[in-house]
Amino acid sequence: MAKIDITEKVVSLAKRRGFVFQSSEIYGGLNGCWDYGPLGVEMLNNIKQSWWKEMTYRENIEGIDAAILMHPRVWEASGHVENFTDPMVDCKECKGRFRADQLEETDCGNKGYKGRKAIKCHQEGKFTEARNFNLMFKTFVGPLEDSSNVVYLRPETAQGIYVNFLNVKEASRQKLPFGIAQIGKAFRNEINTKNFLFRTREFEQMEMQFFIRPDEDEKWFEYWKEQRVNWFIKNGIPKEKLNIHVHEKLAHYAKAAVDIEYEFPFGFGEIEGIHNRTDFDLKRHTEYSGKKLEYFDDQTKERFTPFVIETSAGASRSFMAFLLNSYDEEEVVKENSDGTKSTEVRTVLHLHPSFAPIKAAVFPLVNRDGMQDIAANITEDLRNYMRVFYDDSGAVGRRYRRQDECGTPYCITVDSETLTNNTVTIRDRDTMAQERINKDNLVEFILKKIK
């Protein structure tokens, strides 16, 4: 199967089953913006909850939720007002707009030149001169739209952590080393959006800033790099589909930086960055605010500005990686009613059970003899512990296939044997194996499997 076909099929499945929809689709859509449907929002929340537990259920990491709108001086201090720009060019022929530094990998906007890269148009002199374009969305606070009321939609969540460093340290009484974690929306007015959820204008970040003594930066950089790679692996991403990209050209604030990359159909792409940001951010905010963001060590009697190790994962990109990684098409043998056998293709999402939006589906084999009532009661019992789906329409085989496409790890069927011995069949999504268990043991059985 060609890699591009996988992406197209996953995008189609995502809409059909309610994972992801194009934003404002009935109006033609808004480029670079996506809506998470009923299954998508459950899966995204499961990913974020897993990250949150992984990062904050520790003794030395606290959580916050900072405001999206911040004082405009924050973005002057961080360098975003001056430096957060991309070089932009326009095509005089197709009127398309492109990043000047990505012309070799970007398709031409003229539909008559299928497969042609924008760099060809540039070589032919069809582009305007490059000009810098600031990626921050600008808005205004209050009734007057003038320069004194300008604020920005945050382009990253990290600055909300830095400006709250003293607040969190004093409120939580943390000692170095300690971290502050946050999940939140960020906004970037990208010149070009592409590859489904990979590059969008509105997205969520899962970030943790770990404050340390300057002489311990290399130790903690390596520690968090290993921790974050392991989180992806234990939640279903094969190690061979991950890559560690070491940055040779560093941002002005960084001492070291690596990207954790996933092998998307279009190639390896970043899903999380690990950065040694040194003491740049705290010192800049000290300079611009006049408030000293320092740490006093009671034992050594030293006063210093901590270094920061940043882990910054994209919730949306992680969602896309886990979704693509789980997609599979399997050829399975089907037994027909006349005793013959045939093959069919089964589309299935092999999601990690903890990420699956629906944990179990419950079916009455037929709608008679009270099987619906038993199935409904099982559904209500399970709903106290997990997301469950009840389905009594169509053949059981078709119901299985629907749940396979949703990534549901377990399907429970109430049949005639249930009426006599209180047992049900439970089917495993990945192996399709079925076993009978007492219906009163379902909660314990499924929760143990999910964990």
The sheet that has 434-438: what strands, in order across it?
A: 388-390, 360-364, 410-414, 423-428, 434-438
* Nearest-angstrom CA–CA distance, 141 and 150: 7
Percent of the chain with pLDDT over 70: 92
Give me the number of domains the chain comprises. Answer: 3
Q: Is residue 55 part of a domain?
A: yes
> Are residue 189 and residue 312 in the same domain, yes or no?
yes
Query: Quick one: pLDDT band at residue 381, thresholds 50, 70, 90?
Result: very high
> For residue 335, is pLDDT > 90?
no
Residue 110 within any structural domain of the chain = yes
Q: What would the mean pLDDT of 319-325 be, rounded to a whole number?
A: 97
Q: What is the pLDDT of residue 113?
A: 63
Q: What is the pLDDT of residue 1?
A: 42
Full-model pTM: 0.88
- pLDDT tens for each residue of 197-249: 898 999 999 999 999 999 999 999 999 999 999 999 999 999 999 999 999 99
Cα pseudo-dihedral 374, 425, 42, 244, rounded to 10: 170
Among residues 273, 300, 323, which one ends one of the domains? 323
Cβ neighbors of 196 (< 8 A, separation 6 or more) are 7, 10, 11, 20, 34, 320
196 shares its domain with 293 = yes
Residues 178 and 288 in one domain: yes
Of 82-96, 206-220, 298-312, give the lowest mean pLDDT range: 82-96
pLDDT: which is higher, 6 or 402: 402
The answer to whether residues 108 and 196 belong to one domain is no
Residue 112: pLDDT above 70?
A: no
**Average pLDDT over all residues of the chain:** 91
Identify whether 332 is part of a domain.
no
Residue 337 lies in a domain: no
336 pLDDT band, cuts 50/70/90, is confident
Q: Note whether 314 and 373 are same-domain residues.
A: no
Strand stretches in 135-190, DSSP E: 138-140, 150-152, 178-187
Same domain, 158 and 119: no
Q: Where are the alpha helices (DSSP H) in 207-355?
A: 217-234, 280-289, 315-326
Within this chain, do residues 293 and 386 fall inside the same structural domain, yes or no? no
pLDDT recorded at residue 338: 76
- Residue partners of 35: CB distance under 8 A and separation at least 6: 20, 21, 22, 23
In tens, the pLDDT along 118-133 reads 777 777 777 777 666 6
Last residue of a domain, one of 296, 323, 350: 323
Domain match, 66 and 160 both: yes
Mean pLDDT on 305-334: 95
pLDDT tens profile 344-365: 899 999 999 999 999 999 999 9
- Looking from the CA of 427 toward its CB, the CA atoms found within 13 Å total 18
Which helix (H) or strand (E) segment is 343 a member of? strand 341-349
Same domain, 62 and 97: no
Q: Domain of 432?
A: 358-450
- Specify whether 149 is located in the same domain as 125: no
Same-domain check for residues 16 and 63? yes
Asked if the structure places residue 17 within a domain, the reply is yes
> In this structure, is residue 111 part of a structural domain?
yes
In sequence order, what are the beta bridge partners of 35? 21
**Mean pLDDT, range 430-439, rounded to an integer:** 95
- What is the full DSSP assignment across 190-210? -S--BTTTTB-SEEEEEEEEE
Q: What is the DSSP letter of 128?
A: P
pLDDT digits (tens, 9 = 90+) for 6-55: 889 999 999 999 999 999 999 998 988 999 999 999 999 999 999 999 99
CA distances from 235 to 222, 243, 370 (A): 21, 16, 39
How far is residue 56's CA from residue 192's CA, in Å, rounded to a whole number? 35
What is the CATH classification number for the domain harbouring 58?
A: 3.30.930.10
Of 279, 299, 323, the domain-final residue: 323
| Residue-wise pLDDT tens digits, 267-304 | 999 999 999 999 999 999 999 999 999 999 999 999 99
**Of 29-33, 94-98, 111-115, minimum mean pLDDT range:** 111-115
Q: Tell me the mean pLDDT in the region 68-74.
A: 94
Q: Are both 57 and 99 inside the same structural domain?
A: no
CATH number, domain containing residue 377: 3.40.50.800
On whether residue 75 sits in a domain, the answer given is no
Is the pLDDT score of 2 beyond 50? Answer: no
More confident call, 421 vs 113: 421
pLDDT score for 111? 62
Residue 347 lies in a domain: no
Does 4 have pLDDT greater than 60? no
